[in-house]
Structure 1
Amino acid sequence: MKILFAASEAVPFIKTGGLADVIGSLPKELAKLGADVYVILPKYGDIPSQYTEQMETVAEFQIELGWRTLYCGIQSLRYEGTTFYFIDNEFYYRRQGCYGYGDDAERFAFYCKAVLESLQHIDLLPDIIHCHDWQAGMIPVLLKAHYSWQEPYRHIKTMFTIHNLKYQGVFGKEQLKDFFSLGDEHFTGTALEIHGGASFLKGGLNYSDVMTTVSPSYAEEIQTPYYGENMDSLLRSQSHRLHGIVNGIDYQEWDPMTDVHIEVNYRDSFSKKLQNKMKLQERLGLPVNKQVPLIALVTRLVDQKGLDLIDGVIHQLLSIDAQWVILGTGESKFEQMFRWAASSFPEKVSANILFDEALAHQIYAGSDLFLMPSKFEPCGIGQMIAMRYRSVPIVRETGGLRDTVQAYNEETGEGTGFSFAYYNAHDMLHTVYRAVAYYQDADLWTAILNNIKKKDFSWRKSASAYMALYEQTTGV
C-alpha cells in the first residue's frame, strides 16, 4: 500500500507543535507493517542546512493558481527509511517560521494544489493521501472537484486528521474561489462556508473519505458544543466516518536508557532517577533535596493548557512543600505569572521562559510529578513522555489525557497517575495535594510506578489501527 502524508511540518525538519512529532514518527511505524510511506511538506526557509544540502530536485513545473502561473519545484530526501518531498517556491516559503503571514491562504492554497499536481511529475500514485490539519484541508476538495475524473487520480482516497479543531484556516470566500477555481456550489453551509467565510479544515472534513482525530475521547468531545468549535453539528452528522486513534511517542527519541541529554541513564531505577533530579535542582538553582517532590510543566504557555487554573490558586500551590520547574513560552500574562513566582519564591520555583530541547529531556528525567491541567487536549504527548521517564502525571480528564492516564485507585491498586474531571482550580489544587501526599508514601509511589512500567505508549498499536483504517478505506 502506498500512503502519502500531506502535512505542514515534520520532525526533524520543522516543528511548531505536536503535529510535527506525529509526521516524524508515524511513517516509520507504518513502514514496519509493510506500508510504502511518503511525506510531502513545504520547503521552509527555516529547515536546517544539514537537510537542505542533501535534497535533490526531482521535478520542476508550473502551477495554475487562479490567474497566477507559478513555479513549483519538488525536492526529495530519504530520511530514516522514509522519502520526504519538499515543495519549493521561495516567494511563499523562504521566510521565518511556518504560519502567521497575511497571505497564508494563498501559501497553503499553493501547497494543496502542488501536492496533487506533483504526483504526475514524481511518478507517485498513492492509494491514499493522509491529510493533516487545516493546511492540507483543501486537498480532498480539489481531488474531488478537479482531479478525480482523471485516470491517474481516479482511485486515490483521502483521510483527514484533526490534530486541533480550534485552528480551522478560515479565509474569505472570494479568495478561495479565486485560488481554486471553484464554483458557488462549494461555498454553501454544507461545503466550505463558515461564518460568511470559507474554511480549509471544513473542506477536509466534508470532502475526505474518512476522518480521524488523535484520541477516542477527543473524537467524542468535538461532537459537543463545548469542544466543537462550531463544527459539532457537522461532526455529529458524520460520526460514522470519524475515528479516534491515540497518538504514540517515538520510543527511540524518548528513552531514558539511551538519552544523551540526561545526567544518568536509567529505566526503572528510582535511585538513578533521583540522581537526575538532584542534578536538575543544582542546574536550576533550587535547593538540592531528594525528599521534596519536584513538579514540572513543559508546555506552551497558552490558555488551552489550563494555566488560568494555576493562576487562580497559585498562592496555595506555592504553599505546598514541593518544588516547581516550568519550561515554555507563550502568552505574556502566563510568562509573567511564572516569572513572578520564581522571583518571589526562588527556593521553590524555576521558571525557564524559553525553548530548550535538552532541558526538556532533563526535566522529564528529573521531575517526580508532571502537571497538565488542560482546558482541552486533543491528545497530548507530555503525559506519555513523563510516564516513559517515570514522572507521574497529574491531568484533567479531557481528550487524550483521559485516554492515557488512569487515576490511581488505592483500593484496587490500579492507575498510573492523578486526575480531576471538572475545569476547576480547586479540584486541580486538591489533586496536587493528593499527589504530593502519595509521593511521601514509598509503597504507594512504588505501586504507581510499577503500573506505569507496564504501559506501552509507542506508535506500534496506533500504527496498526491506522493500517486497518487505510485498508478499509481503500479496499487494498
Structure 2
Amino acid sequence: MQLCFSDKQKKVFMNGKKVLFVSSELVPYLPENPVSLMSYEAPRMVNSNGGQIRIFMPRYGNINERRHQLHEVIRLSGMNLVINDMDMPLIIKVASIPKERIQVYFIDNDEYFKRKATFADADGNLFPDNDERAIFFAKGVVETVKKLNWSPDIIHVHGWMASLVPLYLRKYYADEPLFSESRIVTSVYGKDFEGELDTTMIDKIAFDGIDKEEISALSHPEYNNLLKVAVDHSDAVILAAEELSDDLKSHIDNLSVPVLPYVSLQEAEEAYTNFYNTEVLK
C-alpha cells in the first residue's frame, strides 16, 4: 500500500533534511530531456517541502556562462585530483536558478570540460576520455562537499556521467565520516548512449585502490554496466524510465534494496517524497 501525505506532512518530514543531487544534466543549463528535467524537478520538490539541497553537475563548454551568470568560487577551487596518475586541477563554479532560488555547483576542468559539447562530438562519437571525465566528476563532487563540510542525509544520483558517485562514496571514501550516515539513491533512466567508454576504464578506477572484482562489469563499460555498478552501491533505486533493457531491469529486480517503480512527472512529487521518507530515511 502506498502511503500518502498532505502538503503539511511532507514539509514536516523533509524539514531540515539535507539532500545532495548529483546529475549529468540539468535544465535550464542544458536542453530538456528526461535526465535534465527530473534533475531540476526533484530538487525543486525537496526545496519546496522544507528540505535543504545542493546540486552538482559538470560545467560543460556548451553552457553559456555569461547568460547563466556562472562565477568561480575561489575558496573551493585550486585542488588537484589524481586521475590515472595525472594531476588534474579542480575548478568550482556556481550559479543560481532565479525562479527557484536554487544554487547549482559546477565541476570544471579545462582538459575535460572546455569543449563545446556534452558527451559526444559533432559526428555523434563519444569523447574518448568520457571515462576519465566521469571519474573526475565523482571525485570532484565529493571533495567539494567535504570542503563545504555539509553532511547530506540523502545523495541522489541522476545520469550516467554521475554513475560512479555511489561506487566512490562506498569504496574510495568509505572512511569519510561526513558521509557515514548518508543514504544513496540512484535514478535509472533509459539507455543514453550506444557503444562503450574506454576499455581501460576499469584499470583507471582500480588505480584508486578499488578492487576490480567489485567493478568487473566495467570490463565492458557500456551504459547498462555503468548503471549496474551505480545501483550495486546504492541504498535505494528509482526507475526513471518506462522502458529499461531486460538485462538492467533483471539486475535491479535481484537487488535487496527498495525500488520505486516508474511514475510520471506529474506524480513524482508525491511518490518521491513518500519514497524518501518511508524507504530511504527509515
What TM-score range do you get, normalising by the shorter chain?
0.7 to 0.9
Tell me the CA shift for residue 95 of structure 1.
Answer: 1.0
Tell me the CA shift for residue 142 of structure 1.
Answer: 0.8
Give the alignment of 1:206-285 within 5 angstroms: 206-214=232-240, 218=242, 222=244, 227-228=245-246, 230-238=247-255, 241-248=258-265
Tell me the CA shift for residue 122 of structure 1.
Answer: 2.3
Give the alignment of 1:29-178 within 5 angstroms: 29-57=45-73, 58-60=75-77, 61-79=79-97, 80-100=100-120, 101-165=127-191, 167=193, 170-172=196-198, 174-178=200-204
Tell me the CA shift for residue 173 of structure 1.
Answer: 5.3
Instruction: Point out the structure with max Rg over C-alpha.
Output: 1
CA distance in 2, matches of 1:88, 1:126: 22
Instruction: Give the paired residue count.
Output: 254
Tell me, yes or no, if the aligned pair for 1:127 and 1:474 is still in contact at 8 Å: no
> Which SS does the other structure have where 2:76 is aligned?
strand
Tell me the CA shift for residue 76 of structure 1.
Answer: 1.7
CA distance in 2, matches of 1:95, 1:116: 23
Q: Normalised by the size of structure 1, how large is the TM-score?
A: 0.49
> Which SS does the other structure have where 1:465 is aligned?
helix
Question: Could you say which residue in structure 2 is the equivalent of 1:462?
Answer: 268
Deviations along 1:290-324, whole A, 9 cap, x unmatched? xxxxxxxxxxxxxxxxxxxxxxxxxxxxxxxxxxx
Question: Could you say which residue in structure 1 is the equivalent of 2:277?
Answer: 471
CA distance in 2, matches of 1:178, 1:212: 28
Tell me, yes or no, if the aligned pair for 1:209 and 1:473 is still in contact at 8 Å: no
Equivalent AA in structure 1 for residue 47 of structure 2: A
Deviations along 1:192-244, whole A, 9 cap, x unmatched? 455899932221121111111125xx3xx64xxxx42x324312212753212
- CA shift in 2, pair 1:211/1:52, >3 Å: same
CA distance in 1, matches of 2:138, 2:191: 19
- CA shift in 2, pair 1:214/1:83, >3 Å: same
Give the percent of matched residue pairs that are identical in Structure 1 and Structure 2: 22
Flag structure 1 segments of 5+ consecutive residues without an equivalent. Answer: 249-456
Deviations along 1:8-44, whole A, 9 cap, x unmatched? 1111112262211222233222211111122101111
Question: Quick one: which of 208, 213, 218 aligns to 1:185?
Answer: 213
Question: Could you say which residue in structure 1 is the equivalent of 2:226?
Answer: 200
- CA shift in 2, pair 1:128/1:19, >3 Å: same
Tell me, yes or no, if the aligned pair for 1:133 and 1:162 is still in contact at 8 Å: yes
Greater relative contact order structure (CA < 8 Å, 6+ sep): 2
Flag structure 2 segments of 5+ consecutive residues without an equivalent. Answer: 1-16, 121-126
Measured on the aligned residues, the alpha-carbon RMSD in Å equals 2.7
Q: Normalised by the size of structure 2, how large is the TM-score?
A: 0.80
- CA shift in 2, pair 1:474/1:16, >3 Å: closer
CA distance in 2, matches of 1:475, 1:6: 18
